[in-house]
Amino acid sequence: MNPAANECAVAIFARAPVPGRAKTRLIPRLGAEGAASLHERLAEHALATAVEAATGPVNLWCAPSRKHPFFAACAKTFAIGLEDQNAGDLGARMDAAFQRRGGRPLLLIGSDCPSITALHLRACAAALAGGADAVFLPAEDGGYGLVGLNRPVPEIFREVRWGADDVMAETRRRLRGLGLIWSEPAVIWDVDRPEDIERLAASGLLAGQEPPPDA
């Protein structure tokens, strides 16, 4: 058997750390430069976690393009591949990543969920290998920080109110309607609001990479 046949790749979505365009909801607290700097550290943490998990190849999906120097530095540091995110809303971009993977398992995460660990990624890969059609790590805010699929399922990404507090609930409804089997190994939290900064600092998840001081 080809060992690559059982690999579960990991895709990480990240924006270029351009001040004023990265982690914009944190700008009132950290300033544009500080928010962009934190975004860099979060993306690096996500990459390190995915590489540590070693479930399969890791690719960083870049927006607006992989030409930003930060992405090139990440590719060199972590020995990972770079892909450009497609156009469209978040759902269209996520579906495009699964479509490009074809019928092979893929875990997709954002760059703002430092609570996702290598153990989480391995558990999610195991769920797909064990027969689940899909796997999710729901987030405390009602969305999800990870989606994994054994094959593309465009229906779960279409016309979703991304950022709403019922994204995971709506996704479960769609999964049931499609007759799919899915797993939810853990609930995670992300860093998206000013109040999340204290939690991140207290968690120690970015040890040695504390968030920048308040602006």
Half-sphere exposure of 22 (CA within 13 A, CB side): 27
Cα 139 to its chain centre, rounded Å, is: 12
**67 token code pair:** 């030409």
Indicate the pLDDT class of residue 131, thresholds 50, 70 and 90: very high
pTM of the shown model: 0.93
- Residues 6+ positions from 117 with CB-CB distance below 8 Å: 49
Confidence at residue 207, expressed as pLDDT on a 0 to 100 scale: 73
Confidence at residue 44, expressed as pLDDT on a 0 to 100 scale: 98
Helix (H, G, I), strand (E, B), or coil: what is residue 24? helix
**Rounded Cα gap, residues 189 and 150, in angstroms:** 24
Confidence at residue 4, expressed as pLDDT on a 0 to 100 scale: 55
Q: What is the pLDDT of residues 29-44, one digit of tens each?
A: 999 999 999 999 999 9
Q: What is the pLDDT of residues 177-200, one digit of tens each?
A: 999 999 999 999 999 999 999 999
Confidence at residue 139, expressed as pLDDT on a 0 to 100 scale: 97
- Residues 6+ positions from 111 with CB-CB distance below 8 Å: 12, 13, 14, 15, 39, 42, 43, 46
| pLDDT(5) > 70 | no
**84 token code pair:** 């450009």
Q: What is the pLDDT of residues 69-81, one digit of tens each?
A: 999 999 999 999 9
Across the chain, mean pLDDT equals: 93
- Map out the domains of the chain with their CATH numbers: 7-201 (3.90.550.10)
| pLDDT(209) > 70 | no
